[in-house]
Amino acid sequence: MDERKEMNFRELFYGIDNFIPTKFGKKVTGINFDNAATTPPLKSVVSCVDSFLPWYGSIGRGKGYKSTVSTKVYNEGRAEILKFFNLKRRKDYTVVFVKNATEGLNLLASVLVDSKDDVVITSRMEHHSNDLPWRAICRVEYIEVDRWGRLKLKELEEKLYKNRGKVKFVSITGASNVTGYVNDIHRISYLAHKYGAKIIVDGAQLVPHNKVNMCGYQGNDCIDFLVFSAHKMYAPYGVGAVVGLREYFENNGPFMLGGGTVDAVMDDDVYWAEAPEKDEGGTPNVLGVLALITAIKEINKIGYNSIEKHERMLSDYLIEGLESIPKVIMYGDNRDRTRLGIVVLNVEGIYHEDLAQMLSDYRGISVRNGCFCAQPYAKRLLNISERDALKYVLNPKEPKPGMVRVSFGLYNTIYEVNEFLNVMEYIIMKYKK
C-alpha cells in the first residue's frame, strides 16, 4: 500500500468510470492514460453547456434575445482568457478563437509572416503543428536537443545573433507532448526580445498543467503570442484560442475569408472588419467558448499547485515502478522534476503498437503509441538516423519506429498506476514464454 497522500478529483469528471470489455470477455472500468492527446470533460463543463443550450443563438449581428445572450457570453470569454493569463489590464493584447492549437498556429503563420525571407526559429522538440506551418512559408532555423531530448538553449542565442535583424519570431513549445519537458519560456522570451524578435508559445501541453503569466516577471520577458486548446483542458467542445499582440492582427489581412470577416464588400473592393473578428470567419463556436471558460474557472478553483503536486506524485510513482521491471526502456531525464506527467517507454522485444494494444485488450488501459506528431523529436530520442527513418517511409511493410506514451490527467489515481504496472509485468512475463 502506497503511503503517499493522494488527492482525489475523480468526482469532478464525466465518463471516467465507464465499464468497457476486455479481450477475455470481462468488463472493467477503463483507465485513460492518454490525456496528452485529449481529456474527458469536467462535469461542470457539461452541465454549463447543457444549461445554456436553450439560450443558444447566433453571434454578432442578430438582434433577438438569444443572439444577444450568446454574443455577450462569447465576448466575455475574451476578457476571462486575458484575465487567466494576467493580461486583464493590457489593452495591447487580444484573443482570437479558433478550433484548436493547430489552427491557431496556422493562423499566426498566415498573418505574421510577410516574406519567404523572414526567419522563424523553432526547435527539433516541436509538435508538427509548430513546425510545418513555418516550413511552408518562410526560412526556418532549428534549435537542436541534447541526448536527453532537452533544448540546447545556447544554440538559440547563437542563431539569434547570427541572423540578427532577420529573425521575426521564435516559436517554441511551452512543454513537450512527448517527454513532458517544460521549457523556460520567459528566458527564451528575454533572448528573443534582446535581438528584436517576438516569441510565440505553443501552449497546448503547458496551459492545462502549469500556470502561465504572459506579462512575465521582468518587463522584457513577456509572452507575445500564446496558442492553446480547450480539449486538453477538460472542455471537449471544439475550441482553442490565440492570445497575442493586437497590432499584429490589425495590420494584416484575415486568415480565412468569408462571413464575419468584413465590414463591407463592394463589387471591386473589400473593407475588412477589425481584429479579432476579422480572423474568426464563419459562425463562432459559442458553446466551445463557454465550455473553455467554465473549465478555466474550475482549474482556478482547484489551483495549479494542486494539479502539479498530484500529477508529479503519479509520475514519480510510475517511474519508480517501471524502473523495477526488467526490459522496460524509458526516454528522457526521469529525474527532471519540472516535467509534466508524461512518461514515454518501450519494452525490449515488443513492438510499441502491440504493447499499446495489449494494455487495452487485457485491462482497458488507453495509451498512445507512435511518434506523437513529433517525428523529428522522436527520431532523436530513439537514436534513429534520417536514412533509417526514410526506410520506413519507402517500405510501408517495415515496422514503424515509435514509443508508448503514458500521460496523466487530474483525475488519474495511484490505483490506476498500480493496475498499469501489474499488466506491464504480466505482458513481459507472457512474452518471455
In a domain, 390, yes or no: yes
Same domain, yes or no: 277 and 311: no
Q: Please enumerate in sequence order all residues whose Cβ is within 8 A of that of 189, keeping only pairs 6 or more positions apart, or say none.
A: 199, 216, 220, 221, 222, 223, 224
Residues of the chain with pLDDT > 90: what percent? 84
Is residue 370's pLDDT more than 70? yes
Same domain, yes or no: 138 and 80: yes
**Domain C-terminal end among 244, 279, 301:** 301
Question: Residue 124 gets which letter from DSSP?
Answer: T
**Domain C-terminal end among 301, 326, 351:** 301
Read off φ and ψ for residue 200, nearest 5 degrees.
-120, 130
> pLDDT category, 1, cuts 50, 70, 90?
very low
Same domain, yes or no: 286 and 347: no
Q: Please enumerate in sequence order all residues whose Cβ is within 8 A of that of 289, keeping only pairs 6 or more positions apart, or say none.
A: 73, 74, 77, 97, 239
Same domain, yes or no: 236 and 332: no
Same domain, yes or no: 315 and 268: no
Total domains in the fold of the chain = 2
Q: Output 37 or 279, whichever has higher pLDDT.
A: 37
C-alpha span between 237 and 247 (Å, rounded): 29
Mean pLDDT, rounded, of the chain: 95
Same domain, yes or no: 165 and 253: yes
Stretch 381-390: mean pLDDT: 92
Same domain, yes or no: 203 and 276: yes
> pLDDT category, 393, cuts 50, 70, 90?
confident
| CATH code for the domain of 349 | 3.90.1150.10
Range in 267-276, 348-357, 358-367 the model is least confident about:
267-276
Q: Helix 414-432 and helix 352-363: axis angle, to 10°?
A: 120
In a domain, 3, yes or no: no
Structural domain boundaries enclosing 25: 10-32+303-432
Same domain, yes or no: 53 and 114: yes
**Domain C-terminal end among 301, 323, 355:** 301
Q: Is residue 33 within 8 Å of 44, Cβ to Cβ?
A: no
Same domain, yes or no: 52 and 199: yes
User: CA quadruple 310, 312, 317, 319: dihedral positive or negative?
Assistant: positive
Q: Please enumerate in sequence order all residues whose Cβ is within 8 A of that of 167, keeping only pairs 6 or more positions apart, or say none.
A: 119, 120, 121, 141, 159, 160, 192, 195, 196, 197
Same domain, yes or no: 290 and 348: no
User: CA quadruple 400, 403, 404, 408: dihedral positive or negative?
Assistant: negative
In a domain, 92, yes or no: yes
Is residue 254's pLDDT more than 90? no
Same domain, yes or no: 196 and 260: yes
| CATH code for the domain of 56 | 3.40.640.10
In a domain, 275, yes or no: yes
Task: Quick: pLDDT tens for 76-128.
Answer: 999 999 999 999 889 999 999 999 999 999 999 999 999 999 999 999 999 99
Q: Is residue 78 within 8 Å of 90, Cβ to Cβ?
A: no
Sheet (strand 328-330) strand order? 328-330, 342-347, 403-407, 368-370
Q: Is residue 167 within 8 Å of 156, Cβ to Cβ?
A: no
Residue corresponding to grid cell 526547435: 123
In a domain, 217, yes or no: yes
In a domain, 4, yes or no: no
The reported pLDDT for the residue numbered 433 is 58
Read off φ and ψ for residue 186, nearest 5 degrees.
-80, -35
Same domain, yes or no: 295 and 318: no
Task: Quick: pLDDT tens for 14-42.
Answer: 999 999 999 888 999 999 999 999 999 99
Assigned C-alpha cell, 30: 477503463
C-alpha span between 425 and 363 (Å, rounded): 12
Stretch 207-227: mean pLDDT: 96
In a domain, 1, yes or no: no
Read off φ and ψ for residue 197, nearest 5 degrees.
-100, 165
CB half-sphere exposure, 52, CA atoms < 13 A: 22
Instruction: State the amino acid at position 382 in one-letter form.
Output: L
In a domain, 271, yes or no: yes
The reported pLDDT for the residue numbered 297 is 98
Q: Which residues of 43-77 are buried (b: 16+ CB within 10 A; e: fewer)?
A: ebbbebbeebeeeeeebbeeeeeebeebbebbbeb
